[in-house]
Chain A
Amino acid sequence: AQKITQTQPGMFVQEKEAVTLDCTYDTSDPSYGLFWYKQPSSGEMIFLIYQGSYDQQNATEGRYSLNFQKARKSANLVISASQLGDSAMYFCAMRETPYGGATNKLIFGTGTLLAVQP
């Protein structure tokens, strides 16, 4: 069974600095996708970045980048130049996509609460 682990319940970062949010995963399927979502206090889920298991390069989306280390089964999110508006809950999620099968469900980690300090 697939599993997502986020070991940091909470993190602090100074405004304009970079921060890394950890995520490790476990799956027996060779084909899978990893997602990061941001959830502000208002509750909506905001998609940030995606990494496919066969992608050769680490994903980047603006200030977000993903440090994907497949052998270690980790997919850490790096936020550069933190802003006050980055304060939120961050969830790592995984979707298994077995060859020839339909897209499967998305399973979430326990989340990391990020607080950006001025």
Chain B
Amino acid sequence: GAVVSQHPSWVICKSGTSVKIECRSLDFQATTMFWYRQFPKQSLMLMATSNEGSKATYEQGVEKDKFLINHASLTLSTLTVTSAHPEDSSFYICSARDDRDGRRSPLHFGNGTRLTVT
């Protein structure tokens, strides 16, 4: 089946530094990828839609300068948390849509990245 690789699986960084999270579709092309954020015991909140070759579309309330998204190729999207602060600590999870899939097909999710900002 379709595999989405997300790296790193966990990261600890100091306040004020930036962290980059990668999301790769291993065996399919994905023009569109999605980035979600999940706080403990809460739902997945969509942060932004990443489109290859164009600017990401951010959800209301998400700071685009804080969460930089780059969809460099049909198999790679990156999320950079800039100048991270403790309140950015969360579980970040990406998902990708196989370009060949129809509307009935599910999104394919990465295993998530647990970010802790100290």
Residues of chain A whose beta carbon lies under 8 Å from any beta carbon of chain B: 33, 35, 37, 42-45, 47, 50, 52, 91, 95, 97, 102-103, 105-111, 113
Please give me the residue from chain A that is nearest to B97 by CB atom. Answer: A103
Residues of chain B whose beta carbon lies under 8 Å from any beta carbon of chain A: 32, 34, 36, 41-46, 49, 91, 93, 95, 97, 103-107, 109, 111-112, 114
A106 near B111: Cβ-Cβ < 8 Å: no
CA distance A114 to B92 in the complex (A): 22
User: For A44, what are the chain B residues with a Cβ–Cβ distance below 8 Å?
Assistant: 109, 111-112
The secondary structure that dominates the B interface is: strand
CA distance A50 to B112 in the complex (A): 22
A33 near B104: Cβ-Cβ < 8 Å: yes
B97 near A111: Cβ-Cβ < 8 Å: no
Residue from the list B93, B97, B103, B109 in contact with A33, Cβ < 8 A = B103
Can you list 9 A-B pairs with a CB-CB distance of less than 8 A?
Answer: A33-B104, A43-B93, A43-B111, A105-B46, A105-B49, A107-B46, A108-B36, A111-B43, A113-B41
Report the tally of A-B residue pairs with Cβ distances under 8 A. 52
B106 near A35: Cβ-Cβ < 8 Å: yes
CA distance A105 to B114 in the complex (A): 22
CA distance A113 to B41 in the complex (A): 9
With A103-B97, A110-B42, A110-B43 as known contacts, state yes or no: A45 contacts B109, CB within 8 Å: yes
B111 near A103: Cβ-Cβ < 8 Å: no
User: For B46, what are the chain A residues with a Cβ–Cβ distance below 8 Å?
Assistant: 105-108
B93 near A105: Cβ-Cβ < 8 Å: no
CA distance A74 to B49 in the complex (A): 27
User: For B111, what are the chain A residues with a Cβ–Cβ distance below 8 Å?
Assistant: 42-44
